[in-house]
Amino acid sequence: MDRELTPSESLRIIETMIGQAKSSFSRMSTYFLLWGVLLIAAMITTYMMRDSGGAWGQGAAWGVVGVIGGIASWIIGASQSKKEPVNNPMDRIVGWVWGSFIITMLLMIFCFGASHRDPGAAIALLTALPTFLTGQIMRFKPLIFGGLLFWVAGVIMFFSGNAAVITATYCIAMLFGYIVPGYLLKRQEDGLRTA
């Protein structure tokens, strides 16, 4: 039979869960920084090679950074799990949000590619969702703003026929939607380690 917790026991459990959540969320900085840099590099490479007619002009850079980022993310995740095997309910929710994003994005890339259409605007719109939700779950305003920015960028990219505008819009969204929040999360993480 379960016994009722005392107020101090309840408070201690809540404080422990908050500490675990802060610790595990702050570990996300690496992923935002990594993917932000890789995806900006892919966009700029594709833009610069767009008239080459070869695979690079058709978006091969996206596949290359996808593989590099996927392998790097897997290695980083495995390393972090060994160091701090924190697994709380919020970790699982955020993990499912991003896992669902990846599955949907890969299906979109396949479908758009099979129909010879550019998935860029749709992926920017899709990227808004896990970014915004992660920001809400973490109560981290830079990610909330990043999610909103990806929605705006996706709409601009969809209606613009200008490759330079599409490239600049995407890179700005990546910079302020992933890299800046990643940097701010990293600073927060470093502060938690010294506290």
Place of tokens 């600049």: 168
In three-state secondary structure terms, 85 is coil
Section 12-25 average pLDDT:
64
The string of pLDDT tens digits covering residues 161-186 is 899 999 999 999 999 999 999 999 98
Element (H, E) at 24: helix 7-26
User: pLDDT tier at 26 (50, 70, 90 boundaries)?
Assistant: low
Q: What is the pLDDT of residue 78?
A: 86
* Residue found by looking up tokens 């990846």 in the block: 102
pTM, two decimal places: 0.83
Among 24-28, 33-37, 75-79, the range of highest mean pLDDT: 33-37
What is the token pair recorded at 5? 């917790």
pLDDT for residue 113 is more than 60: yes
For residue 195, name the pLDDT band (cuts at 50, 70, 90): low
Domain residue ranges in the chain: 31-187
pLDDT (0 to 100) of residue 25: 61
Handedness of CA 57, 60, 65, 68 (dihedral sign): negative
Report helix, strand or coil for 180. helix
Rounded Cα distance between 75 and 70, Å, is: 9
